[in-house]
Amino acid sequence: MMNLESLKLSSLPENHCGILRHSSNTRPVIWVIEENGVRGVVKDFSNSKFFYRNIIGRFLIWREHKAYKKLQGLEGVPACYGVIDGLALALEEIPSQPLEKHNKNIKLSRTFFDDLKNIVDSFHRKGLAHSDLKNGANVLVGYDGRPYIVDWSASISQKEFRFFPLNRIYLRFVLDDYFAIIKLKMRYVPETLTLEERRQYAKRSHMERGIRGIRDRLRKILKKIV
Ligand SMILES: Nc1ncnc2c1ncn2[C@@H]1O[C@H](COP(=O)(O)OP(=O)(O)OP(=O)(O)O)[C@@H](O)[C@H]1O
Ligand SMILES: [Mg+2]
């Protein structure tokens, strides 16, 4: 654990021990910190512009913290140390590289995607869908070779989505999480895809293309009208 009481967001620019990602208009800065020998990561909106910081930033931190409380103790998810000033979230540091930056010459462990699926099963059992797993920045390859999942700000809770038609949408997000695993496999280790996974991938891409086609046609029509 880490004691956040003495931690001030305003002192992080001097007291951090690394920056994993700089902030942008819409994205928080990700600091690496150390307190009494414990290392952590702080996702921090305190430098965003006033409106974004107070409306969006606070909301996203609140949502993500809520998700981490549900995920407490699950393997493959960093421990959450808490929220600072409503604007930042402190997490256990996972010594890792995000999948999107993983050097393709270094083979992922044979069980990496099976482990990932087990993690996905375990948070679905807790009634949570991640919904942004196909983003290779949100799946970390631990230096121990195992997968870890971060970035729960877009996650969906089964409890909040329990009534029709939201319950259908929740199920859709659950399926999407599994489909994301297939997509990541396709991108990073296509040779390990099973025939069934290839079939699902083809079917799904076909459907996504169809939906994009309809959207593009609608756009054209709208442009003519407006
Ligand atoms: N607990 C952690 N341990 C190690 N690295 C982490 C941790 N949390 C986040 N990171 C790093 O910070 C990056 C961004 O974190 P996160 O995805 O939570 O923020 P984000 O603002 O949603 O970013 P993006 O928009 O790129 O998805 C991750 O890709 C990862 O490299
Ligand atoms: Mg992310």
Q: pLDDT (tens digit, 9 = 90+) per residue, 47-101?
A: 999 999 999 999 999 999 999 999 999 999 999 999 999 999 999 999 999 999 9
pLDDT in tens, 102-150: 988 888 998 999 999 999 999 999 999 999 999 999 999 999 999 999 9
- Over 90: is that where the pLDDT of 36 sits? no
What is the number of the ligand closest to the CA of 39?
1
Q: How far apart are CA 170 and CA 184, in angstroms?
A: 21
- Please state the rounded mean pLDDT for residues 2-17: 92
- Over 80: is that where the pLDDT of 171 sits? yes
pLDDT of residue 25: 87
- Over 80: is that where the pLDDT of 213 sits? yes
- Residue range(s) occupied by CATH 1.10.510.10 in the chain: 96-193
Exposure string over 124-158, b if 16+ CB within 10 A, otherwise e: beebbbbbbbbbbebbbbbeeebbbbbbbbbbbbb
Tell which one of 22, 43, 132 to mutate to probe ligand 1, the residue whose CB is within 8 A of the most ligand atoms: 43
Query: At 1, is the pLDDT very low, low, confident or very high (cuts 50, 70, 90)?
Result: confident
Q: 138 CA distance to ligand 1 centroid (A)?
A: 6
Residue nearest to atom 8 of ligand 1 (CA): 150
9-92: CATH superfamily: Phosphorylase Kinase; domain 1 (3.30.200.20)
* Residue 197 identity: E
- Residues touching ligand 1 (Cβ under 6 Å) are 20-21, 27-28, 30, 41, 43, 78, 91-94, 96, 98, 135, 137-138, 140, 150-151
What is the assigned CATH class of domain 96-193? mainly alpha
* Residue 157 identity: S
Tell which one of 17, 80, 149, 150 to mutate to probe ligand 1, the residue whose CB is within 8 A of the most ligand atoms: 150
Q: What share of the chain is helix, strand, coil (3-state, %, to 5)?
A: 45, 20, 35
- Residue range(s) occupied by CATH 3.30.200.20 in the chain: 9-92
